[in-house]
Amino acid sequence: MLLVLLVVVEGVQLAEFGSGMARERAGLQAGLQQQGFEAAQAAAQRQFNNQQGLAKLVPSLQGQDISRLGQIGSINQAQAQAGLDATREANRMTAYQPQEQVDRYANIVTGIMGGMQGSGTRTTNVPNPTPMQTALGAGATLAGVYGALGGKLFG
């Protein structure tokens, strides 16, 4: 009888030990799963914040692109204008060259004749602005427009 009682007690102890181990294992597993869930949730929140940051950055980058395209456009316009100005000046010089030669000859002759007044026609060469001056003028105009808009092109 004692032997049966010992076997029963031993069986109860083994059952308790087994159920305690199962509880500990389940608790450990639940803790690890909770940690994994919290880590995944934190990573998802970081990813969401990163996407929000990128979404806020895109309009700023687009504004910079538009600004740079405007700068390139004004540089191209200044270069084209400089070419047109050079062509205009060459055409003007070609058109007025005979008159300027006659005026020079008349001034020489009147200097020799003494007392005679020279012809009343005079031409003046006005130099065209350099491309740098043109670009600075365009930049100043753009800065004035930007300032008039309160420094906010987008928003």
Report pLDDT for 51. Answer: 93
Distance CA 106, CA 121 (A): 10
pLDDT tens-digit readout, 64-79: 999 999 999 999 999 9
Contacts of residue 80, Cβ cutoff 8 Å, sequence gap at least 6: none
Could you give the count of Cα atoms lying within 13 Å of 25 in the half-sphere of its Cβ? 6
What does the mean pLDDT of the chain come to?
82
Q: Has residue 139 been placed in a domain?
A: no
Q: Which tokens go with 30?
A: 């639940």
Q: Has residue 150 been placed in a domain?
A: no
Q: Has residue 17 been placed in a domain?
A: yes
Q: Has residue 125 been placed in a domain?
A: no
Q: Has residue 119 been placed in a domain?
A: no
Domain that holds residue 24: 2-112
Across residues 120-140, what is the average pLDDT? Answer: 74
Distance CA 122, CA 103 (A): 8
Across residues 102-109, what is the average pLDDT? Answer: 83
**% the chain with pLDDT above 70:** 79
Across residues 57-63, what is the average pLDDT? Answer: 89
Distance CA 1, CA 78 (A): 114
Q: Has residue 128 been placed in a domain?
A: no
Q: Has residue 30 been placed in a domain?
A: yes
How many domains does the chain fold into? 1
